A and B are shown apart, each in its own frame.
Chain A
Protein backbone atom coordinates (compact mmCIF):
# COMPACT_ATOMS: atom_id res chain seq x y z
CA UNK A 1 0.00 0.00 0.00
CA UNK A 2 2.92 2.30 0.68
CA UNK A 3 3.90 1.78 -2.93
CA UNK A 4 0.75 3.38 -4.29
CA UNK A 5 1.63 7.06 -3.69
CA UNK A 6 5.11 6.41 -5.06
CA UNK A 7 3.69 4.82 -8.21
CA UNK A 8 1.18 7.65 -8.63
CA UNK A 9 3.94 10.27 -8.36
CA UNK A 10 6.27 8.56 -10.84
CA UNK A 11 3.76 7.09 -13.31
CA UNK A 12 0.83 9.51 -12.97
CA UNK A 13 2.35 12.26 -15.17
CA UNK A 14 3.22 9.63 -17.81
CA UNK A 15 -0.30 8.21 -17.75
CA UNK A 16 -1.74 11.71 -18.18
CA UNK A 17 0.58 12.26 -21.14
CA UNK A 18 -0.60 9.02 -22.77
CA UNK A 19 -4.23 10.09 -22.25
CA UNK A 20 -3.47 13.55 -23.69
CA UNK A 21 -1.95 11.95 -26.79
CA UNK A 22 -5.31 10.30 -27.60
CA UNK A 23 -7.31 13.41 -26.64
CA UNK A 24 -8.95 15.23 -29.58
CA UNK A 25 -7.23 18.62 -29.93
CA UNK A 26 -10.46 20.74 -29.93
CA UNK A 27 -11.53 19.07 -26.69
CA UNK A 28 -8.39 19.89 -24.67
CA UNK A 29 -10.34 22.67 -22.93
CA UNK A 30 -12.67 20.09 -21.35
CA UNK A 31 -11.98 18.25 -18.10
CA UNK A 32 -11.98 14.89 -19.88
CA UNK A 33 -12.36 13.91 -23.56
CA UNK A 34 -15.65 12.62 -24.99
CA UNK A 35 -13.96 10.18 -27.31
CA UNK A 36 -10.37 9.15 -28.04
CA UNK A 37 -8.57 9.59 -31.35
CA UNK A 38 -5.29 8.71 -33.05
CA UNK A 39 -5.32 11.98 -34.99
CA UNK A 40 -2.45 13.37 -32.90
CA UNK A 41 -0.24 10.46 -33.95
CA UNK A 42 -1.33 10.67 -37.59
CA UNK A 43 -0.56 14.40 -37.53
CA UNK A 44 3.07 13.93 -36.49
CA UNK A 45 4.04 13.24 -40.07
CA UNK A 46 7.39 12.65 -41.69
CA UNK A 47 9.35 15.39 -39.88
CA UNK A 48 9.01 13.58 -36.60
CA UNK A 49 9.62 10.19 -38.22
CA UNK A 50 12.90 11.70 -39.46
CA UNK A 51 13.76 12.76 -35.90
CA UNK A 52 13.19 9.20 -34.66
CA UNK A 53 15.43 7.87 -37.41
CA UNK A 54 18.09 10.52 -36.67
CA UNK A 55 18.07 9.66 -32.98
CA UNK A 56 18.40 5.96 -33.80
CA UNK A 57 21.35 6.62 -36.10
CA UNK A 58 23.21 8.88 -33.66
CA UNK A 59 22.57 6.65 -30.63
CA UNK A 60 23.55 3.50 -32.53
CA UNK A 61 26.66 5.19 -33.98
CA UNK A 62 27.76 6.45 -30.56
CA UNK A 63 27.20 3.02 -29.03
CA UNK A 64 29.18 1.27 -31.77
CA UNK A 65 32.08 3.73 -31.55
CA UNK A 66 32.30 3.63 -27.76
CA UNK A 67 32.15 -0.16 -27.52
CA UNK A 68 34.69 -0.56 -30.33
CA UNK A 69 37.35 1.66 -28.76
CA UNK A 70 36.21 1.25 -25.14
CA UNK A 71 36.40 -2.55 -24.86
CA UNK A 72 40.07 -2.89 -25.76
CA UNK A 73 41.02 0.15 -23.67
CA UNK A 74 39.11 -1.16 -20.64
CA UNK A 75 40.82 -4.54 -21.04
CA UNK A 76 44.21 -2.81 -21.15
CA UNK A 77 43.43 -0.75 -18.05
CA UNK A 78 42.15 -3.76 -16.12
CA UNK A 79 44.73 -6.40 -17.02
CA UNK A 80 47.82 -4.89 -18.62
CA UNK A 81 50.70 -2.64 -17.64
CA UNK A 82 51.37 0.41 -19.76
CA UNK A 83 52.28 4.05 -19.39
CA UNK A 84 49.28 6.30 -18.95
CA UNK A 85 47.09 3.57 -17.50
CA UNK A 86 45.98 5.44 -14.39
CA UNK A 87 45.91 8.68 -16.36
CA UNK A 88 43.39 7.18 -18.79
CA UNK A 89 41.16 5.78 -16.06
CA UNK A 90 41.28 8.82 -13.78
CA UNK A 91 40.98 11.16 -16.75
CA UNK A 92 37.89 9.36 -18.03
CA UNK A 93 36.27 9.65 -14.59
CA UNK A 94 37.05 13.37 -14.43
CA UNK A 95 35.74 13.91 -17.96
CA UNK A 96 32.43 12.25 -17.08
CA UNK A 97 31.92 15.05 -14.58
CA UNK A 98 32.60 17.88 -17.05
CA UNK A 99 29.62 20.13 -17.67
CA UNK A 100 28.92 19.75 -21.42
CA UNK A 101 28.54 23.51 -21.84
CA UNK A 102 32.29 23.80 -21.16
CA UNK A 103 33.10 22.22 -24.51
CA UNK A 104 30.31 23.61 -26.69
CA UNK A 105 32.18 26.64 -28.05
CA UNK A 106 35.42 24.92 -29.20
CA UNK A 107 33.57 21.85 -30.49
CA UNK A 108 31.28 24.14 -32.49
CA UNK A 109 34.28 25.83 -34.14
CA UNK A 110 36.09 22.54 -34.81
CA UNK A 111 33.01 20.84 -36.26
CA UNK A 112 32.37 23.88 -38.43
CA UNK A 113 35.95 23.91 -39.69
CA UNK A 114 35.75 20.18 -40.47
CA UNK A 115 32.44 20.59 -42.30
CA UNK A 116 30.74 18.37 -39.71
CA UNK A 117 28.55 20.99 -38.07
CA UNK A 118 24.88 20.35 -38.79
CA UNK A 119 25.54 16.69 -39.62
CA UNK A 120 24.50 13.61 -37.67
CA UNK A 121 28.02 12.17 -37.93
CA UNK A 122 29.26 15.35 -36.28
CA UNK A 123 27.21 14.56 -33.17
CA UNK A 124 28.75 11.13 -32.57
CA UNK A 125 32.20 12.36 -31.55
CA UNK A 126 30.93 14.97 -29.04
CA UNK A 127 28.64 12.30 -27.60
CA UNK A 128 31.75 10.26 -26.82
CA UNK A 129 32.57 12.82 -24.08
CA UNK A 130 29.91 11.30 -21.84
CA UNK A 131 29.49 7.88 -23.47
CA UNK A 132 33.12 6.73 -23.60
CA UNK A 133 33.92 7.36 -19.89
CA UNK A 134 30.76 5.44 -19.00
CA UNK A 135 31.79 2.53 -21.25
CA UNK A 136 35.32 2.51 -19.81
CA UNK A 137 34.04 2.58 -16.24
CA UNK A 138 31.60 -0.32 -16.74
CA UNK A 139 33.90 -2.53 -18.80
CA UNK A 140 36.99 -1.93 -16.67
CA UNK A 141 35.17 -3.01 -13.50
CA UNK A 142 33.94 -6.08 -15.39
CA UNK A 143 37.39 -7.10 -16.68
CA UNK A 144 38.92 -6.48 -13.23
CA UNK A 145 36.56 -9.05 -11.76
CA UNK A 146 37.79 -11.74 -14.18
CA UNK A 147 40.75 -13.69 -12.70
CA UNK A 148 44.28 -12.60 -13.64
CA UNK A 149 45.18 -16.29 -14.08
CA UNK A 150 43.03 -16.30 -17.21
CA UNK A 151 45.32 -13.71 -18.78
CA UNK A 152 48.52 -15.41 -17.61
CA UNK A 153 47.34 -18.78 -18.92
CA UNK A 154 46.58 -17.27 -22.32
CA UNK A 155 50.06 -15.70 -22.40
CA UNK A 156 51.71 -19.01 -21.44
CA UNK A 157 49.81 -20.64 -24.29
CA UNK A 158 51.47 -18.18 -26.64
CA UNK A 159 48.81 -15.49 -27.05
CA UNK A 160 49.86 -11.87 -27.54
CA UNK A 161 47.91 -9.40 -25.34
CA UNK A 162 45.76 -8.61 -28.37
CA UNK A 163 45.00 -12.28 -29.00
CA UNK A 164 44.23 -12.81 -25.30
CA UNK A 165 41.76 -9.95 -25.53
CA UNK A 166 40.07 -11.12 -28.73
CA UNK A 167 40.01 -14.86 -28.15
CA UNK A 168 39.72 -15.18 -24.36
CA UNK A 169 38.29 -12.04 -22.79
CA UNK A 170 35.99 -10.64 -25.46
CA UNK A 171 33.85 -13.80 -25.73
CA UNK A 172 33.33 -13.69 -21.94
CA UNK A 173 32.37 -10.06 -21.84
CA UNK A 174 29.10 -9.94 -23.75
CA UNK A 175 26.95 -9.33 -20.61
CA UNK A 176 29.03 -6.26 -19.75
CA UNK A 177 29.04 -5.15 -23.39
CA UNK A 178 25.23 -5.42 -23.45
CA UNK A 179 24.89 -3.38 -20.25
CA UNK A 180 27.21 -0.69 -21.58
CA UNK A 181 25.42 -0.64 -24.93
CA UNK A 182 22.00 -0.17 -23.30
CA UNK A 183 23.18 2.66 -21.05
CA UNK A 184 25.15 4.46 -23.77
CA UNK A 185 22.18 4.13 -26.11
CA UNK A 186 19.81 5.66 -23.55
CA UNK A 187 22.16 8.55 -22.73
CA UNK A 188 22.72 9.33 -26.42
CA UNK A 189 19.02 9.00 -27.25
CA UNK A 190 18.27 11.59 -24.55
CA UNK A 191 21.02 14.18 -25.17
CA UNK A 192 19.84 17.73 -25.87
CA UNK A 193 22.53 20.41 -25.47
CA UNK A 194 25.01 19.30 -28.17
CA UNK A 195 22.24 18.39 -30.62
CA UNK A 196 20.59 21.77 -30.06
CA UNK A 197 23.90 23.62 -30.48
CA UNK A 198 25.32 21.82 -33.51
CA UNK A 199 22.23 20.96 -35.60
CA UNK A 200 20.33 23.73 -37.38
CA UNK A 201 18.49 21.99 -40.26
CA UNK A 202 15.03 20.86 -39.02
CA UNK A 203 15.21 17.55 -40.90
CA UNK A 204 18.41 16.64 -39.02
CA UNK A 205 17.00 17.17 -35.54
CA UNK A 206 17.07 14.37 -32.99
CA UNK A 207 14.01 13.57 -30.86
CA UNK A 208 14.90 15.74 -27.83
CA UNK A 209 15.53 18.75 -30.09
CA UNK A 210 12.37 18.11 -32.12
CA UNK A 211 10.31 17.91 -28.95
CA UNK A 212 12.00 20.91 -27.32
CA UNK A 213 11.35 23.05 -30.41
CA UNK A 214 7.95 21.56 -31.28
CA UNK A 215 5.74 24.48 -32.23
CA UNK A 216 2.40 24.97 -33.90
CA UNK A 217 1.31 27.80 -36.16
CA UNK A 218 -0.77 29.64 -33.55
CA UNK A 219 -1.08 27.66 -30.34
CA UNK A 220 1.05 24.95 -28.80
CA UNK A 221 -0.16 21.60 -30.20
CA UNK A 222 -0.24 19.83 -26.83
CA UNK A 223 -1.92 16.73 -28.22
CA UNK A 224 0.74 16.25 -30.87
CA UNK A 225 3.52 17.00 -28.41
CA UNK A 226 2.06 14.31 -26.16
CA UNK A 227 1.91 11.87 -29.08
CA UNK A 228 5.55 12.63 -29.97
CA UNK A 229 6.55 12.15 -26.33
CA UNK A 230 4.88 8.77 -26.22
CA UNK A 231 6.68 7.71 -29.41
CA UNK A 232 10.00 8.82 -27.85
CA UNK A 233 9.23 6.99 -24.62
CA UNK A 234 8.03 3.61 -25.96
CA UNK A 235 11.49 2.26 -26.94
CA UNK A 236 12.86 3.29 -23.54
CA UNK A 237 9.90 1.72 -21.76
CA UNK A 238 10.70 -1.58 -23.47
CA UNK A 239 14.40 -1.28 -22.64
CA UNK A 240 13.67 -0.62 -18.96
CA UNK A 241 11.09 -3.40 -18.71
CA UNK A 242 13.26 -6.06 -20.31
CA UNK A 243 16.68 -4.97 -19.10
CA UNK A 244 15.96 -3.31 -15.74
CA UNK A 245 18.31 -5.69 -13.92
CA UNK A 246 21.18 -4.82 -16.29
CA UNK A 247 20.42 -1.10 -16.18
CA UNK A 248 20.30 -1.04 -12.40
CA UNK A 249 23.51 -3.09 -12.15
CA UNK A 250 25.25 -0.75 -14.60
CA UNK A 251 24.07 2.44 -12.94
CA UNK A 252 25.18 1.32 -9.51
CA UNK A 253 28.40 -0.40 -10.63
CA UNK A 254 31.11 0.70 -8.25
CA UNK A 255 28.60 2.51 -6.05
CA UNK A 256 29.38 0.05 -3.28
CA UNK A 257 32.83 -1.31 -2.55
CA UNK A 258 32.95 -4.77 -1.06
Chain B
Protein backbone atom coordinates (compact mmCIF):
# COMPACT_ATOMS: atom_id res chain seq x y z
CA UNK B 1 0.00 0.00 0.00
CA UNK B 2 1.18 3.52 -0.74
CA UNK B 3 2.45 5.59 2.21
CA UNK B 4 -0.08 8.37 1.57
CA UNK B 5 -3.11 6.16 1.68
CA UNK B 6 -1.77 4.38 4.74
CA UNK B 7 -1.45 7.77 6.44
CA UNK B 8 -5.07 8.56 5.64
CA UNK B 9 -6.03 5.16 7.02
CA UNK B 10 -4.24 5.89 10.31
CA UNK B 11 -6.30 9.06 10.73
CA UNK B 12 -9.58 7.63 9.42
CA UNK B 13 -11.08 6.26 12.67
CA UNK B 14 -10.57 9.54 14.53
CA UNK B 15 -11.99 11.49 11.59
CA UNK B 16 -15.02 9.22 11.39
CA UNK B 17 -15.75 9.55 15.11
CA UNK B 18 -15.40 13.34 15.12
CA UNK B 19 -17.64 13.61 12.07
CA UNK B 20 -20.19 11.25 13.62
CA UNK B 21 -20.41 12.69 17.12
CA UNK B 22 -19.78 16.39 16.47
CA UNK B 23 -20.00 17.65 12.88
CA UNK B 24 -23.07 15.70 11.72
CA UNK B 25 -24.97 16.30 15.00
CA UNK B 26 -24.47 20.06 14.70
CA UNK B 27 -25.81 19.95 11.14
CA UNK B 28 -28.65 17.71 12.34
CA UNK B 29 -29.44 20.19 15.12
CA UNK B 30 -29.75 22.97 12.51
CA UNK B 31 -32.04 20.70 10.47
CA UNK B 32 -34.13 19.87 13.59
CA UNK B 33 -34.41 23.56 14.44
CA UNK B 34 -36.34 24.04 11.19
CA UNK B 35 -39.01 21.60 12.38
CA UNK B 36 -41.84 21.47 14.79
CA UNK B 37 -40.91 18.35 16.71
CA UNK B 38 -42.57 17.26 19.94
CA UNK B 39 -41.29 13.86 21.07
CA UNK B 40 -44.28 12.58 23.04
CA UNK B 41 -46.79 13.46 20.29
CA UNK B 42 -44.58 11.89 17.58
CA UNK B 43 -45.14 15.12 15.77
CA UNK B 44 -42.58 16.24 13.22
CA UNK B 45 -43.03 18.63 10.34
CA UNK B 46 -40.94 21.18 8.51
CA UNK B 47 -41.80 24.76 9.43
CA UNK B 48 -38.85 26.71 7.98
CA UNK B 49 -37.51 29.51 10.12
CA UNK B 50 -40.63 29.81 12.29
CA UNK B 51 -38.72 28.68 15.41
CA UNK B 52 -36.17 31.42 14.89
CA UNK B 53 -38.87 34.00 14.26
CA UNK B 54 -40.36 32.98 17.61
CA UNK B 55 -36.92 33.05 19.22
CA UNK B 56 -36.39 36.69 18.30
CA UNK B 57 -39.60 37.69 20.07
CA UNK B 58 -39.06 35.30 23.02
CA UNK B 59 -38.34 37.41 26.11
CA UNK B 60 -37.09 34.36 27.98
CA UNK B 61 -34.43 33.79 25.31
CA UNK B 62 -33.17 37.39 25.50
CA UNK B 63 -33.14 37.22 29.27
CA UNK B 64 -31.15 33.94 29.16
CA UNK B 65 -28.73 35.51 26.67
CA UNK B 66 -28.26 38.51 28.96
CA UNK B 67 -27.73 36.26 32.00
CA UNK B 68 -25.19 34.15 30.09
CA UNK B 69 -23.30 37.24 28.87
CA UNK B 70 -23.26 38.76 32.36
CA UNK B 71 -22.12 35.48 33.92
CA UNK B 72 -19.34 35.12 31.32
CA UNK B 73 -18.09 38.71 31.57
CA UNK B 74 -18.02 38.92 35.37
CA UNK B 75 -16.70 35.40 35.98
CA UNK B 76 -13.91 35.62 33.41
CA UNK B 77 -12.85 39.10 34.57
CA UNK B 78 -12.71 37.94 38.20
CA UNK B 79 -10.78 34.80 37.23
CA UNK B 80 -8.13 36.86 35.40
CA UNK B 81 -7.82 39.40 38.22
CA UNK B 82 -7.40 36.67 40.86
CA UNK B 83 -5.53 34.29 38.56
CA UNK B 84 -2.63 36.67 37.89
CA UNK B 85 -1.50 37.12 41.52
CA UNK B 86 -2.03 33.38 42.11
CA UNK B 87 0.17 32.63 39.07
CA UNK B 88 2.89 34.88 40.49
CA UNK B 89 2.70 32.99 43.79
CA UNK B 90 2.87 29.67 41.91
CA UNK B 91 5.97 30.89 40.07
CA UNK B 92 7.97 30.63 43.28
CA UNK B 93 7.51 26.87 43.14
CA UNK B 94 6.19 24.44 45.69
CA UNK B 95 4.75 21.16 44.42
CA UNK B 96 2.25 20.84 47.25
CA UNK B 97 0.98 24.39 46.76
CA UNK B 98 0.46 23.72 43.06
CA UNK B 99 -1.37 20.43 43.69
CA UNK B 100 -3.56 22.11 46.32
CA UNK B 101 -4.55 24.88 43.90
CA UNK B 102 -5.24 22.29 41.20
CA UNK B 103 -7.72 20.35 43.31
CA UNK B 104 -10.77 22.64 42.82
CA UNK B 105 -10.20 22.43 39.06
CA UNK B 106 -10.00 18.61 39.13
CA UNK B 107 -13.21 17.77 41.01
CA UNK B 108 -16.54 17.48 39.16
CA UNK B 109 -18.41 20.79 38.83
CA UNK B 110 -21.54 19.03 40.07
CA UNK B 111 -19.68 18.11 43.26
CA UNK B 112 -18.28 21.59 43.81
CA UNK B 113 -21.69 23.15 43.19
CA UNK B 114 -23.30 20.86 45.78
CA UNK B 115 -20.51 21.71 48.17
CA UNK B 116 -21.13 25.44 47.72
CA UNK B 117 -24.89 24.92 47.94
CA UNK B 118 -24.28 23.61 51.45
CA UNK B 119 -22.07 26.61 52.27
CA UNK B 120 -24.82 28.90 50.93
CA UNK B 121 -27.61 27.00 52.73
CA UNK B 122 -30.07 29.53 54.13
CA UNK B 123 -30.47 27.73 57.47
CA UNK B 124 -27.17 26.21 58.52
CA UNK B 125 -24.67 27.06 55.77
CA UNK B 126 -21.26 28.28 56.88
CA UNK B 127 -21.46 31.44 54.75
CA UNK B 128 -24.91 32.09 56.10
CA UNK B 129 -23.57 31.81 59.64
CA UNK B 130 -20.65 34.14 58.92
CA UNK B 131 -22.82 36.62 57.02
CA UNK B 132 -26.38 36.30 58.29
CA UNK B 133 -29.13 38.03 56.36
CA UNK B 134 -27.93 37.14 52.86
CA UNK B 135 -30.09 34.46 51.24
CA UNK B 136 -27.49 33.56 48.63
CA UNK B 137 -29.46 31.17 46.44
CA UNK B 138 -32.97 32.29 47.36
CA UNK B 139 -32.89 35.84 46.09
CA UNK B 140 -32.78 36.67 42.37
CA UNK B 141 -30.19 39.39 42.94
CA UNK B 142 -27.58 37.23 44.68
CA UNK B 143 -28.17 33.81 43.09
CA UNK B 144 -26.32 34.61 39.85
CA UNK B 145 -23.40 36.03 41.80
CA UNK B 146 -23.32 32.90 43.94
CA UNK B 147 -23.01 30.87 40.74
CA UNK B 148 -20.24 33.20 39.55
CA UNK B 149 -18.41 32.66 42.86
CA UNK B 150 -18.56 28.88 42.36
CA UNK B 151 -17.19 29.25 38.83
CA UNK B 152 -14.41 31.56 40.02
CA UNK B 153 -13.46 29.11 42.77
CA UNK B 154 -13.36 26.22 40.33
CA UNK B 155 -11.62 27.70 37.29
CA UNK B 156 -9.26 30.37 38.61
CA UNK B 157 -6.65 27.59 39.06
CA UNK B 158 -6.82 26.85 35.33
CA UNK B 159 -6.39 30.54 34.46
CA UNK B 160 -3.49 30.80 36.91
CA UNK B 161 -1.75 27.83 35.25
CA UNK B 162 -2.07 29.32 31.75
CA UNK B 163 -0.71 32.63 33.06
CA UNK B 164 2.06 30.77 34.90
CA UNK B 165 3.13 29.20 31.60
CA UNK B 166 3.21 32.70 30.11
CA UNK B 167 5.21 34.07 33.05
CA UNK B 168 7.76 31.26 32.79
CA UNK B 169 8.36 32.16 29.14
CA UNK B 170 9.43 35.71 30.02
CA UNK B 171 13.24 35.77 29.88
CA UNK B 172 14.73 36.47 33.33
CA UNK B 173 17.43 38.68 31.79
CA UNK B 174 14.89 41.30 30.74
CA UNK B 175 13.58 41.65 34.27
CA UNK B 176 17.12 41.66 35.71
CA UNK B 177 18.25 44.36 33.30
CA UNK B 178 15.28 46.53 34.25
CA UNK B 179 16.10 46.04 37.91
CA UNK B 180 19.74 47.05 37.33
CA UNK B 181 18.46 50.18 35.56
CA UNK B 182 16.59 51.02 38.77
CA UNK B 183 13.02 50.15 37.77
CA UNK B 184 10.65 49.63 40.68
CA UNK B 185 8.64 46.37 40.97
CA UNK B 186 5.41 48.13 39.95
CA UNK B 187 7.12 49.62 36.89
CA UNK B 188 8.57 46.20 35.95
CA UNK B 189 5.12 44.64 36.30
CA UNK B 190 3.30 47.19 34.11
CA UNK B 191 6.05 47.84 31.54
CA UNK B 192 7.53 44.38 31.13
CA UNK B 193 5.53 41.53 32.68
CA UNK B 194 2.06 42.60 31.59
CA UNK B 195 2.89 43.41 27.93
CA UNK B 196 4.88 40.18 27.53
CA UNK B 197 2.02 38.25 29.13
CA UNK B 198 -0.52 39.52 26.56
CA UNK B 199 -0.64 36.33 24.45
CA UNK B 200 -1.17 34.14 27.52
CA UNK B 201 -3.86 36.50 28.83
CA UNK B 202 -5.66 36.47 25.47
CA UNK B 203 -5.48 32.68 25.35
CA UNK B 204 -6.89 32.34 28.87
CA UNK B 205 -9.63 34.81 27.90
CA UNK B 206 -10.49 32.75 24.82
CA UNK B 207 -10.64 29.40 26.60
CA UNK B 208 -12.53 30.74 29.58
CA UNK B 209 -15.02 32.88 27.68
CA UNK B 210 -16.05 29.98 25.43
CA UNK B 211 -16.26 27.69 28.45
CA UNK B 212 -18.17 30.13 30.67
CA UNK B 213 -20.64 30.91 27.88
CA UNK B 214 -21.77 27.28 27.77
CA UNK B 215 -22.14 27.13 31.59
CA UNK B 216 -24.56 24.43 32.66
CA UNK B 217 -23.37 22.19 35.50
CA UNK B 218 -22.90 24.74 38.29
CA UNK B 219 -26.18 26.53 37.68
CA UNK B 220 -28.19 23.35 37.15
CA UNK B 221 -27.02 21.98 40.50
CA UNK B 222 -27.22 25.25 42.45
CA UNK B 223 -30.55 26.69 41.31
CA UNK B 224 -31.79 24.91 38.14
CA UNK B 225 -32.07 28.41 36.68
CA UNK B 226 -34.19 29.84 39.50
CA UNK B 227 -35.28 31.75 41.47
CA UNK B 228 -37.76 33.22 38.96
CA UNK B 229 -35.41 32.31 36.06
CA UNK B 230 -32.85 34.80 37.42
CA UNK B 231 -29.97 32.38 36.78
CA UNK B 232 -31.28 30.74 33.62
CA UNK B 233 -28.50 30.63 31.02
CA UNK B 234 -28.83 29.60 27.37
CA UNK B 235 -27.67 26.02 28.03
CA UNK B 236 -30.14 25.66 30.93
CA UNK B 237 -33.04 27.06 28.89
CA UNK B 238 -32.21 24.80 25.93
CA UNK B 239 -31.84 21.76 28.21
CA UNK B 240 -35.23 22.38 29.84
CA UNK B 241 -36.93 22.92 26.49
CA UNK B 242 -35.39 19.74 25.05
CA UNK B 243 -35.62 17.27 27.91
CA UNK B 244 -38.29 18.60 30.25
CA UNK B 245 -40.77 19.88 27.65
CA UNK B 246 -39.67 17.42 24.97
CA UNK B 247 -39.80 20.23 22.39
CA UNK B 248 -36.97 19.16 20.11
CA UNK B 249 -37.70 21.75 17.42
CA UNK B 250 -37.53 24.90 19.51
CA UNK B 251 -34.98 23.34 21.86
CA UNK B 252 -32.71 22.72 18.88
CA UNK B 253 -33.24 26.32 17.76
CA UNK B 254 -32.04 27.46 21.20
CA UNK B 255 -29.05 25.10 20.95
CA UNK B 256 -28.19 26.42 17.50
CA UNK B 257 -28.44 30.01 18.78
CA UNK B 258 -26.04 29.13 21.64
CA UNK B 259 -23.70 27.51 19.13
CA UNK B 260 -23.81 30.62 16.92
CA UNK B 261 -22.93 32.87 19.89
CA UNK B 262 -19.97 30.68 20.88
CA UNK B 263 -18.80 30.60 17.26
CA UNK B 264 -18.99 34.39 17.12
CA UNK B 265 -17.00 34.83 20.34
CA UNK B 266 -14.42 32.32 19.11
CA UNK B 267 -13.94 34.07 15.76
CA UNK B 268 -13.52 37.49 17.40
CA UNK B 269 -10.86 36.13 19.75
CA UNK B 270 -9.04 34.24 17.01
CA UNK B 271 -8.75 37.50 15.06
CA UNK B 272 -7.12 39.14 18.08
CA UNK B 273 -4.84 36.16 18.68
CA UNK B 274 -3.90 36.01 15.00
CA UNK B 275 -2.82 39.65 15.13
CA UNK B 276 -0.58 38.85 18.10
CA UNK B 277 1.51 36.33 16.25
By a beta-carbon cutoff of 8 Å, the part of chain A in contact with chain B is 2-3, 6-7, 9-11, 13-14, 16-17, 20, 28-29, 31, 65, 68-70, 72-73, 75-77, 80-85, 88, 91-92, 94-95, 97-110, 125-126, 128-129, 132-133, 136, 155, 160-162, 165, 186, 189-190, 192-193, 196-197, 207-209, 211-212, 214, 222, 225-226, 229, 232-233, 236-237, 239-241, 244-245, 247-248, 251-252, 255-258
Contact = CB atoms under 8 A, between A and B. Distances in A.
B97 interface: yes
A136 to B, nearest CB: 7
17 contacts: A3-B94, A13-B116, A70-B14, A73-B15, A82-B11, A84-B11, A95-B23, A101-B239, A104-B243, A105-B255, A129-B18, A129-B21, A132-B18, A208-B217, A225-B114, A232-B108, A233-B103
Interface string B97-123: 111111110111111111110110101
A255 B101 CA distance: 19
Given A104-B242, A212-B221, A99 B214 contact: yes
A197 B108 contact: no
Nearest to A258: B169
A194 B181 CA distance: 57
B65 interface: no
B225 interface: no
Decide if the interface of chain B is mainly helix, strand, loop or mixed.
Answer: helix
A95 B18 contact: yes
Q: How large is the interface on B (under 10, 10 to 19, 20 to 34, 35 or more residues)?
A: 35 or more
Given A73-B10, A208-B110, A101 B214 contact: yes
Contact of A100 (B106, B200, B214): B214
Given A100-B214, A241-B99, A255-B203, A214 B114 contact: yes
Interface in B40-73: none
A130 to B, nearest CB: 9
B172 interface: no
A77 B239 contact: no
Decide if the interface of chain A is mainly helix, strand, loop or mixed.
Answer: helix
Contacts of A186: 106
Nearest to A163: B6
A7 B100 contact: yes
A237 B108 CA distance: 11
B228 interface: no
Contacts of B115: 13-14, 16-17, 226, 229
